[in-house]
Amino acid sequence: ASPCPGCGGKDRFRVWPESDRFWCRQCNLSGNNIEYLKQFHSMTVQGALQHLGIDNNLSYHQRQKPIRHINHNSPWIPNKNKNPPDTWKEKAMAFVDWSQKNLLNNSTQLEWLDKQRGLNINSVINAKLGWNPLDMNRTCQSWGYPELEKDIFIPHGLIIPVYINGKINRVKTRSDDREIKYLSVTGSGSSPMIFLSEIDTQCIIVVESELDALLIHQECGDLITAVAMGSASYKPDIKTHNLLIQSKLILQSFDAGDDEPGANISWSWWRSIYPQWRRWPCVNGKDPTESYLNGFNIRAWIQAGLDGYFPESAFEFFDFLHKYEKPLPNEILNHYGEAAIERMAIMTIDGGIQNNQLKLEEIKS
């Protein structure tokens, strides 16, 4: 991704050279290579054809052949996840065990996980989080990838292992001191992280960050399964897809807000694939962790999203919406902030809170 030459949107412009296509996620401008030259280089069709060395005598459809490689109307099929070789898994597990010992002896990082991520020591241990102080390189042969031409790169930072059926599939690292915060160890798979609920409620919340999913599991592991996609643009693999289609309810809380480019596209896609999908943004923060650190009750937030399950603690979450007429008074705006109130409104409309609340009030009366 790169800045769009049209609208200037940062990291929003994408190009597919194999099919001569481009698309900007921000201004939604798209087309083929001829359209690109017309839009951004002020060329005529004839000039673009000459620049590209395309025979002007070819018919329009002959010139457009590369476009047929992209079929936006074709049904989506989830990918089968990459399964690293057994040697890689053995090496990765040994590394994860070593890194966890480092973390448990690192009071600074444990304090950061507690104060900045809301994670207690039990969550840290159960998720096998670790700490790697330095970048490392290992030979690809020793890690079970003799066909690779590059070394196995193990970035420094917080170590976040991802498992499938109890076996390690991916090792991610997180560090604030590099441009790309999250990097995976070479040879990792790409499966989302899944924290199954302690009781099979068939309810799932989908978030971006693995640490957000771990926090939700810590606070609500008896209520809901937490799935971390790793990015709002990633799609479920086949294992995650099978879990999602069998669920009764999917709450989605990605970091992107209404004004973020690509947000509506992402929501539309999830809604089209999973009819039980419900948008469920955070309040008082852009993600579950930030909301939690700002004093928000994560458990009440999850409870409010579950069909037919509204305990007393959930009412603090949306009660004020029904007490005040708009415009809302300053004390409410100052306490919650405009962004939080907008998200409350989204959850009321998309999540059907009002209807469920009315039903509960009828029962209570």
Percent of the chain whose predicted confidence (pLDDT) is above 90: 43
pLDDT at 92 over 60: yes
Of residues 49 and 159, which shows the higher confidence score?
Answer: 159
Contact indicator for 153, 145 with CB cutoff of 8 Å: no
Task: Report how far apart, in Å, the C-alpha atoms of 80 and of each of 107, 163, 189, 190 are.
Answer: 39, 15, 10, 10
Of the candidate CATH numbers 2.102.10.10, 3.40.250.10, 3.40.1360.10, 3.40.50.10490, the domain formed by 196-364 belongs to: 3.40.1360.10
Can you point out the beta strands (E) in the chain?
Answer: 13-16, 21-24, 30-32, 130-132, 136-138, 152-154, 157-164, 167-174, 182-184, 193-195, 203-207, 225-228, 249-253, 277-279
C-beta atoms surrounding 352 within 10 Å: 14
Contact indicator for 215, 289 with CB cutoff of 8 Å: yes
Cα(182)–Cα(213) distance, rounded to whole angstroms? 15
- Supply the pLDDT for residue 301: 87
- Numbered ranges of CATH 3.90.980.10 in the chain: 86-191
Of residues 314 and 363, which shows the higher confidence score?
Answer: 314
**Max CA-CA distance within the chain?**
78
What is the tens place of the pLDDT at every residue in 297-342? 898 888 878 865 544 444 454 454 455 555 555 665 566 555 555 5
- Supply the pLDDT for residue 7: 60
Q: Would you say the pTM of this structure is higher than 0.95? A: no
Cα(352)–Cα(302) distance, rounded to whole angstroms? 14
Q: Of 201, 209, 221, 228, whose CA–CA distance to 308 is shortest?
A: 201
Identify the band that residue 357 occupies on the pLDDT scale cut at 50, 70 and 90.
Answer: very low
* Domain over 86-191 is classified CATH 1.10.10.10: no
Mean pLDDT within 115-131: 98
Residue by residue, DSSP assigns 12-51 as -EEEEGGGTEEEETTT--EEEHHHHHHHHH---HHHHHHH
Average pLDDT over the chain reads 79
Per the document, the length of the chain is 365
- Numbered ranges of CATH 3.40.1360.10 in the chain: 196-364
What is the tens place of the pLDDT at every residue in 60-86? 444 444 433 444 456 788 988 889 999
Cα(229)–Cα(78) distance, rounded to whole angstroms? 14
Of residues 142 and 4, which shows the higher confidence score?
Answer: 142
